[in-house]
Amino acid sequence: MNMSDPGCIFCKIVSRDITTEFVAETSNTLAFRDIAPLADVHLLVIPKQHHRDVLELAKNAPSILGELMNTAANLANTYTNGSFKLQFNTGAEAGQTVCHAHAHVLADNVKDAS
């Protein structure tokens, strides 16, 4: 299986060919701020491996999907008050524009760090 797609924008983030602000990294996942935020908190969590969407990730690498969920939970705990949306757009008609599996962590509350 091809674990990287040279034309994929998120694979370029994984390889650091495109720079962005990372908020978390684990062995198999990366997280960064969405470039066009739709909420006060808008983070993306991706597997480092290229899988077309969350269903392909679930089928081909379920343990990495589990790791991704754990990363998302840690970010939600850090950046939100515990109420958040976890969204996987799947398919163009559902609004998926980047064909590399990713979870949106969305919240209109920001955790008060004080």
The encoded tokens of residue 14 equal: 């994984």
Among 6, 17, 22, 35, binds ligand AMP (CB under 6 A): 35
Q: Which of 42, 50, 100, 102 is catalytic?
A: 102
The encoded tokens of residue 79 equal: 């950046």
Among 8, 9, 39, 86, binds ligand AMP (CB under 6 A): 9
The encoded tokens of residue 57 equal: 């990730």
Query: Which residues contact residue 10 at a Cβ distance below 8 angstroms, ignoring those fewer than 6 apart?
Result: 46, 50, 98, 100, 102
* Contacts (CB under 6 A) with ligand AMP, residues 77-106: 89, 95-98
CB of 70 to ligand AMP, least distance (A): 20
Q: Give the footprint of Zn ion on this chain (CB under 5 A).
A: 5, 8, 10-11, 50, 100
The encoded tokens of residue 112 equal: 């008060």
Name the one residue in this structure whose structure tokens are 């969920």.
69
Active-site amino acid positions = 102
